[in-house]
Chain A
Amino acid sequence: MLQNSLIMQKQIKKFNRRNFLKKSAATVPLPLFIPSSAFGANERINFAGIGMGGRGRGDLNSFLGFSEIQTSAVCDVVQSHAEQAKSSVDRRYGNNDCKTYIDYREIIMRDDIDAVLIATPDHWHAKIAIEAMTSGKDVFCEKPETLTIREGQMMRDTARRFGRIFSGGSQRVWGDYNWFHRMIYGGAIGEVKEAWVNVGGPSGECYLPPEPLPNGVDWNRWLGPAPWRPYHPALTRGGFRPFRDYSGGGMTDWGCHGFGGALFACNLHETGPVKITPPDGKDVQQLTYEFASGVKIYHGGGWGGILSFRGTENEIPFRNNSKNRPSPPSVHIPNYKGQGGLSGDFIHCVKSREKPFRDIERAHRTATHCHLGNIAYWLKREITWDPDKEEVLGDPEVSRWLDRPKREPFTIG
C-alpha cells in the first residue's frame, strides 16, 4: 500500500494541469489523486461537439451557456450541420476560431481537447465514445447511449478502465420526473410494486428506396459500423429512429427517458430485470419486465402521462405536469452535482472527477432494459436474463441479438 502510494505521489509530480484532468479518475479508489477541483478558477474545459444535427446543436447551445466550457471544434459528416454549429460557437465567443471537421477522428487525435459531446445517430455512439475515452477524453453522450447491449458493456468497461467521466444524455430522468422520485422515495405509496411507462414501440428493418446522394454528405461515414444501404435523405435528417440498424425506435429513444425514470424511481437503475415477456394478445397484454425483487414494469398502460406507479399502500394517479398534484415528502435523493441541470452536472464532474448523475452504469443499464424489450418484441419470445452476468439464460436465438457484427473497417472498442 505504502509503496503504491509512493509510486502514485511520484507520478503526481509529473502532471501538469491538463494532464491532471486526464489522469484523475471517477471510479478508481485513489483518494490521493482526487482534488476538490482539477481546474483552477479561470481554467476552462476544452470541449468539442461530434454529431451536430438538430439535437447535437441543441446540446451544444446548452453547453455554450457555461463559462467553464471553451468549445473549440465541431464535427459532422453533413457539412451544413457542422457549419451551423460553428456559427453558434463563433457567435457566442465573438470570433471565428471554432474548427470544423467531417471526420471525428481528427478531434479525438487533438491532445488539447478535454471532453466531447457525442450526439450522432445511435449506431455511432459506442465507437466514438470508446475511442474518445481511450484517448483520455471525458464524454457526454446523447441517449440512447448504445445500439446493443454488448456496446454498453464495452463503454462501461472502458470508462472504468481509464477513469473517464461518462454522462448519458437523459435530462428527463431527474429533471422532469423528480416529483415521482420524491413521492416514492418519500414513502407516499409504500413499497413500489408496479410501474407503467408510455413510450413508442420498437424499431424494424429499413426498406426505404435509394435516392441520389447530394454534395456535402459523406454517406459511407454516416453509415459507419451499420450495414451498407443506399442513401436516403430521411436518414441524415433525423429520420433514422424507426430503423433497427441505427436505433431501437421509441423503445430506446423516449424509452431511455421513461424507463430510465421508472428504474430510478424503483431504485433498480443499476441492475436489470430477470424476465421479459412480450404481449401475446391473450394473457399478457403489455410487454412486462419482472425483477428479482418482484417489481414489475410494463411498457404502455397506466393512467395518463409517461409514468404511473402502484405501491403497497397507494398509487400515483397524477400526471407529472399536473397542477393539482400534491407536494412530495421532504426527502434527500442524490441527484445533479454542480449548477445547471444535466450539463452542469457533467461539467462539475469533469472538474471534480465524481460520478455524474447519468454515469455510464446507469445509462447502460437503462439502455439494456430498452434493448431487451425490443428483442422480446422482435422475436415474440420471453427472455430470461441474468442481470449480474448480463447474459441471456438458455436461449441462443435471443443471445444472437446482444450485439451485431460491425461493418468493416468500423471496428468498435
Chain B
Amino acid sequence: MKYLISILSLLSLSLALNADELDEKLLLAGKFVDGNPADALKFIESKAVESLQDSQLRNSLEEKIINSLGTANSRRGKDFLCRMLRIMGTRKSIPLMQKLLKDQEIGHMARYVLASMQYEEAGAALHQSLDTVQDKLKQGIIDSLGDIRYKKAVPDLIKLLDTASVSNNATRALGLIGGDNVGELLVPRLSKTTGKAYRCTVQALLRCAESYLEQGDKEKALSIYNHFTKSETDSYVILAGLSGVAKVNGE
C-alpha cells in the first residue's frame, strides 16, 4: 500500500511537472518572434500530435492553447498556436477561430483551422463571418466555403456574384459546390465577363456540368456544354464544350 501511494505521488508530481513545462512553453510560444526557442515549439507540436491518441491530453492542451492565444502578443506566436489547433483542435476552438477570422493579420490562420476541420459548426462559423469581413479576408472565406463545399452558403454566394472585389471568388466557390440552379445562374456571366473573370466562369460552369453528369442529369449538363460549342470564344474552350457533349453522349 505504501509503495502504491509513493508511485501515485510520483506519477502526479510528474504530471504536474509536465503540465508546468507545457504552460511555460506555451507562454514562450505566444511571444515567438525570431525563431527561438524552437525547442519549445517542437515540444508543443509533439504534444499536439500525441494528443490525437489521448483524449484527456487533447482536451487540456486545447484549453491551454485557446488561453495562450488570448495572451499571445506576437503574430508568429498566434500563427503557431493556430497551427497546433489545426492538428488537434475540436469544436471547442471554433468560437475563438470565428472571432479571429476578422483579424487582418491572423485571419488566414483562423481559416487554416476552420476549413481543415470536418465539423458542420466550422463551416457555419465561416459562413456566419462572411458579412463581417471585407476585401481579402472575405475572398479567403469565400474560397474556403467553396473548398469545403458548404452548401448552405449558396444563396449568400449568389448575392456576391455582382460584388466586383469578390465576384471571381464567389463564382469559383459556386462552381465547386454546384447545386440545382447554380449552372443557370452562372451562364449569364459568360457574356458579361472577360479575361480572368471569364476563365473563372468557364471553369465553374464546366465543374457544374460535370457534377450534373455525375448525378445523371444529362440534360442540365448538356445545356451548359452547349453554351461553349456555340460560342465565339477561345478554341480550347470550344473543345472543352465539345468534349463535354461527347461525354454526355457516352462517346
Where the two chains meet, the residues of A that have a C-beta atom closer than 8 Å to any C-beta of B are 1, 4, 7-8, 11, 14-15, 19-20, 22-25, 28-30, 33, 109, 131, 134-136, 150, 157-158, 161-164, 205, 207-210, 227-230, 378-381, 396-397, 399-401, 403-409, 411, 413
Contacts and interface: CB of A to CB of B under 8 A. Distances in A.
B49 A405 contact: no
A254 to B, nearest CB: 24
Given A19-B235, A405-B140, A7 B242 contact: yes
Interface of B: 33-36, 38, 41-42, 45, 49, 52, 75-76, 79-80, 83, 86-88, 105, 107-109, 111-112, 115-118, 136-137, 139-140, 143-144, 147, 168-169, 172, 195, 199-200, 202-203, 206, 210, 229, 234-240, 242-243, 245-246, 249, 251
Nearest to B169: A411
Given A4-B246, A411-B172, A23 B235 contact: yes
B52 to A, nearest CB: 6
B94 to A, nearest CB: 14
Given A210-B34, A409-B136, A25 B239 contact: yes
A4 B49 contact: no
Nearest to A16: B235
A205 B83 contact: yes
A412 B52 CA distance: 30
Contact of A405 (B88, B108, B168, B238): B108
B240 A162 contact: yes
Contact of A380 (B49, B107, B137, B240): B49
B210 to A, nearest CB: 8
Given A15-B235, A28-B239, A408 B136 contact: yes
A78 to B, nearest CB: 22
Contact of A33 (B199, B237, B239, B240): B239
A205 B76 CA distance: 12
B78 to A, nearest CB: 11
Nearest to B248: A4
A20 B236 CA distance: 8
A379 B117 contact: no
- Which of B34, B169, B234, B235 lies at the interface centre, i.e. has the most chain A CB atoms within 10 A of its CB? B235
A378 B83 CA distance: 13
8 contacts: A22-B236, A29-B246, A162-B239, A163-B239, A396-B118, A397-B87, A407-B140, A411-B172
A209 B35 contact: yes
Contact of B242 (A8, A164, A403, A404): A8
A325 to B, nearest CB: 42
Contacts of A401: 116
Main secondary structure of the interface of B (DSSP, over half): helix
A208 B35 CA distance: 5
A22 B242 contact: no
The 9 closest A-B pairs by CB, nearest first: A408-B140, A209-B35, A28-B243, A23-B235, A136-B236, A400-B116, A19-B235, A207-B38, A209-B34
Contacts of A163: 236, 239-240, 243
A33 B238 CA distance: 12
A134 B199 contact: yes
A24 B239 contact: yes
A399 B242 contact: no
- Which of A33, A207, A405 lies at the interface centre, i.e. has the most chain B CB atoms within 10 A of its CB? A405
A61 B208 CA distance: 41
A363 B20 CA distance: 47
Given A19-B235, A30-B246, A163-B240, A405 B34 contact: no
Contacts of B118: 396, 399-400
B239 A23 contact: yes
Given A207-B38, A379-B52, A30 B236 contact: no
A32 to B, nearest CB: 10
A23 B139 contact: no
Nearest to A398: B52
Given A403-B116, A408-B140, 6 more contacts: A4-B246, A134-B203, A135-B199, A227-B108, A228-B79, A405-B111
Contact of B202 (A14, A134, A157, A396): A134
Nearest to B202: A134
A135 B235 CA distance: 11
Nearest to B80: A205
B150 to A, nearest CB: 13
Contacts of B111: 405
Given A11-B229, A405-B108, A30 B243 contact: yes
B234 A22 contact: yes
Nearest to A12: B235
A149 B67 CA distance: 33
Contact of A4 (B137, B143, B249): B249
B201 to A, nearest CB: 10
Contact of A400 (B38, B117, B195, B210): B117
A204 to B, nearest CB: 8
Contacts of A413: 172, 203
